[in-house]
Structure 1
């Protein structure tokens, strides 16, 4: 039987945090080495602390593997979305979205429209990754055609994608948060709406104002017109090209599992590439793995369209697995428990409840590298604090999403940050200041917490559930 190690002290956890930041900065900025090597180095640093605390290697290995296992759902989605992007570009689906978008949307309202379109797509499908990989890529091409800065367009796109990821009953993170928080799914969504709707409206107004100012209300349409002409020469453009997207959205609306639906959509993309875009069947199937390899002659369009395929996601997947391992190792040496005990002493009001939950959730993103990890750290570290104060767990679920799901694209080594930067072609730190929806969600959540706004007490159902749980214990 293995001896259980002792828990780390607060100074030790601070030391781990400082070393983590130093390693990431040194590898990425100073040495210009891959971030994957930085995370692998962090593994050994945490293991070193674990040995000092008298944890065996096998205990830490189990924790590492458990952490990776908890994020495998996101990995499967990444594989499916990579295949989807490759075949939908080759099949003319994404190019058709770009073409019609250029013809319909005016430069002045584009940023606001990009956020709304991506939000609608994400709400309908329940996936921010899928929305960014399809509608998001189209919006990036359209925005650059209008002469808008790519980092600003990326901010609007990601804002829209995460509105849907957060509010859709089809979203895996939304369902998982409600389950972990032990609240009804639609009660969870209703609670989030108090934060998300104002954040969405304010962000939309800001994008509209900035878009009008930058484009002077109209903008130069010559690049957009040239892009449309070039797309028409390269692809067979028609409304029929959008049928696979419609089919996938309908299937997801009917709550069919995301991964097989996305893979089915990818297969449709290959068929469309064969039937309408001149690919042989073997070439079309190959795009699922290697991407489209499209060359239109316009540099920024080629940069956006020459992507996709499962191989396009392999570095991203490796990075996510390494980041998940960091979270698993920290869990195995008791770091999350120590933090939970500190937060329990601090959380004495709805304001401090909100702050601690946001921090606990962000801790999971920062060290665990995935939204799934943040949902676990946010709920498990702080859930009992809500019960002690008699506050409804709908506040817990709302705060966990604000600190976890929404902050995922803010961290360069998280699954969301990596995917968005890779797919949209804009570095995380470049689009971060313009991810206004995510920033507003955090600000509004804190305001509500400290002002005591939209804070529900436990209802009769929750009281009875807690009583039954206590009796079972």
Structure 2
């Protein structure tokens, strides 16, 4: 009972911050205190809990480097003219009635190459968002398509960190799991494509598209060299180079272009890297502004604080009593259903995908003896449900990178359809004699 009361108090703090419009960082900090007090009341030592919490926090702090690179990359692709060049040269080829579908498909492709939802959103996501808004398409619809696309590849790319984590936790062959993932994703993927095309046809504005090429040429020198940062990133991704090295190479390529082609001074470049790129032309700024390390500060804090939970839970055994409840739930709604519900709860509490995967595996490990089935259950739950939590970094980072509203989560169709299809299939299998 004490464990449920403790988790309820933490959830109340989260809900309070969300309802008041505050950042969830204070609620996460309060969560650390709540979980530590619970541990002390149940007989655990402060020092042991704090050391375990700091250990998992240090392990997760490596991700902070990725967030810094994303902040730099999203700024420089804007400032160097990479995004304006690509958008200016593709608007004539893409019609508004297929833009949402192409947004989804292009982000699927980029995430398969990079294996990273965050890097894909920072690159292809920014391009497709700028392209779509120049055609006067709703940013919420575009954001939903981007979120669906970047997590399609994040889930089933061989170089995806989430796929590698699931492989490690379940001791399975990643390529066997990928074959299963492609099979379970086939119907949701096709349905998502149909829905996005339908939304594009239904929501297409009668107004004409903005002349993106004319607008951007007023603020940028659209020389062919501005596309080089994108070329470098794609080549490195195809070569299966680590995503952080890939982003670093693209950043180093973009820096001299900002100075030599766009004629920015180094002080302006430095300011943009920290605070984001801001165009002097107000009309262009509406399409292109954003990025910067500052835009990533909140998600860095969320990762660092929430990652300490795993260590505290391990030390105090806070989640042990929940195992019985999950086992009972599995008997009623199937193992997959119980895993899905658990992933939604852990995603809401953990606020990040990595910790959600780890906690879901920890809580549901005993439900399924077949390691391959356990792996595909994790891939079809925790990996894709984490971005559906509005306050989680799994949705916050991609949407922040592209400048999309939180309401975009409502239109991330693939992330809903995959669990729904799996749940229906699991229920159908359970009814078989």
Query: How far apart are residue 396 of structure 1 and its match?
Result: 1.3
State the partner residue of 1:334.
317
State the partner residue of 1:221.
208
Task: Provide Cα deviations, 1:353-393, integer angstroms capped at 9, x if missing partner.
Answer: 11222233333322222211122122233233321xxx3x2
Query: Could you tell me whether the CA contact under 8 Å between 2:110 and 2:124 is conserved in 1?
Result: yes
CA distance 1:290–1:347, shift in 2 (3 Å): same
State the partner residue of 2:19.
29
Structure 2 Cα separation of the partners of residues 198 and 50 of structure 1: 45
**SS class of match (2:91):** helix
**SS class of match (2:154):** helix
TM-score (norm 1): 0.85
**SS class of match (1:336):** coil
Q: Which runs of 5+ in 1 are unaligned?
A: 1-10, 454-473
State the partner residue of 2:396.
418
State the partner residue of 1:40.
29
State the partner residue of 1:56.
45
State the partner residue of 1:362.
344
State the partner residue of 1:251.
236
Structure 2 Cα separation of the partners of residues 102 and 146 of structure 1: 8
State the partner residue of 1:179.
168
Moved more, 285-294 or 406-415: 285-294
Structure 2 Cα separation of the partners of residues 238 and 448 of structure 1: 52
Query: Could you tell me whether the CA contact under 8 Å between 1:347 and 1:356 is conserved in 2?
Result: yes
Structure 1 Cα separation of the partners of residues 59 and 185 of structure 2: 27
Equivalent runs, 1:178-217 vs 2, <5 Å: 178-215=167-204
CA distance 1:432–1:312, shift in 2 (3 Å): closer
Pair 1:309-2:298 in alignment: no
Query: How far apart are residue 79 of structure 1 and its match?
Result: 1.2
**SS class of match (1:439):** helix
Equivalent runs, 1:267-282 vs 2, <5 Å: 267-281=252-266
Q: How many residue pairs were aligned?
A: 431
Structure 1 Cα separation of the partners of residues 118 and 215 of structure 2: 27
2:304 aligns with one of 313, 321, 328 = 321
Q: Which runs of 5+ in 2 are unaligned?
A: none
1:403 aligns with one of 364, 381, 390 = 381
Query: Could you tell me whether the CA contact under 8 Å between 1:368 and 1:374 is conserved in 2?
Result: yes
Moved more, 238-247 or 45-54: 238-247
State the partner residue of 1:154.
143
CA distance 1:441–1:147, shift in 2 (3 Å): same
Pair 1:431-2:408 in alignment: yes
CA distance 1:383–1:97, shift in 2 (3 Å): same
Pair 1:12-2:2 in alignment: yes
- What's the Cα RMSD here? 2.3
Structure 2 Cα separation of the partners of residues 163 and 101 of structure 1: 24
Query: Could you tell me whether the CA contact under 8 Å between 2:143 and 2:405 is conserved in 1?
Result: no
Task: Provide Cα deviations, 1:238-297, integer angstroms capped at 9, x if missing partner.
Answer: 443222212212212222222122122111111221232112355445543343232332
State the partner residue of 1:4.
none
Pair 1:82-2:71 in alignment: yes
Query: Could you tell me whether the CA contact under 8 Å between 2:390 and 2:396 is conserved in 1?
Result: yes
Pair 1:241-2:226 in alignment: yes
Query: Could you tell me whether the CA contact under 8 Å between 2:134 and 2:287 is conserved in 1?
Result: no
CA distance 1:213–1:120, shift in 2 (3 Å): same
Query: Could you tell me whether the CA contact under 8 Å between 1:327 and 1:364 is conserved in 2?
Result: no
Query: Could you tell me whether the CA contact under 8 Å between 1:327 and 1:367 is conserved in 2?
Result: no
Equivalent runs, 1:111-150 vs 2, <5 Å: 111-150=100-139
Query: How far apart are residue 184 of structure 1 and its match?
Result: 0.6
Pair 1:164-2:141 in alignment: no
Query: Could you tell me whether the CA contact under 8 Å between 1:295 and 1:306 is conserved in 2?
Result: no
Query: Could you tell me whether the CA contact under 8 Å between 1:97 and 1:135 is conserved in 2?
Result: no
State the partner residue of 2:281.
296
Query: How far apart are residue 205 of structure 1 and its match?
Result: 0.5
TM-score (norm 2): 0.92
* Larger relative contact order (CA 8 Å, sep ≥ 6): 2
